[in-house]
Amino acid sequence: MSTTRLLVNFSKYTTLETDRLVLKPLSINDLDDYHEYSGDEETLKYDYLPHKTLKESEEGLVTWYLSAPLGKYGLFLKSSGKLIGNINFRPETNEKVFIGYTLNKKFWKRGYATEALQKLISLSFNQSNIKQILAKVHSEDRASIALLIKLGFSLVNIESNVKHYRGYTFDELTYEKRKDN
């Protein structure tokens, strides 16, 4: 099933706000803040390989965010305009999306990821036909697991021996939140 209708619907929501955050598309002007976390080993421990140079971050920003921005939001502090992370959803069908997020480690444990996810979940369930939101998580990423459970997600699948970019294998957990829950 085509996800075009879902993307058209979400194109109306280019900027979202929470109490402390503005969720909006990234631009090349965000490169320094983006590199601050996309080049950090600890921030990306369970995600992609950190960018070693500003040029790598620039290429990642352009390739991943600027070339196809729909459903991808930077997390900007309202107080300063600083980019502190990103959140995105990838439509699987018009009723099912995968979400993902990255938050600069300097801003962990302050509720920003909770705030951003709550906003995107609310938008997904209230302004579209989305009925199911899924998130894939590294089995050792305790903070993300706790966050998803706190927001009402349930474990629905464990895929064992998944090959990580870094060369090791791990269990990948899939969590789900349904509109009717």
pLDDT tens digits, 153-166: 999 999 998 877 77
In a domain, 118, yes or no: yes
Give how far the C-alpha of residue 100 lies from the chain's centroid of Cα atoms, to the nearest Å. Answer: 3
Query: If you ran DSSP here, which 8-state letter would residue 71 be given?
Result: T
In a domain, 80, yes or no: yes
Let me know: does 105 contact 112? Beta carbons within 8 Å: no
Query: If you ran DSSP here, which 8-state letter would residue 28 be given?
Result: G
What CATH number did the domain enclosing 31 receive?
3.40.630.30
Bridge partners, 90 (sequence order)? 98
Q: 32 lies in which domain range?
A: 4-133
In a domain, 75, yes or no: yes
In a domain, 144, yes or no: no
Number of domains forming the structure of the chain: 1
Dihedrals φ, ψ of 37, to 5°?
-100, -30
The tens digit of pLDDT for each residue in 53-84 reads 999 999 989 988 887 777 889 999 999 999 99
In a domain, 78, yes or no: yes
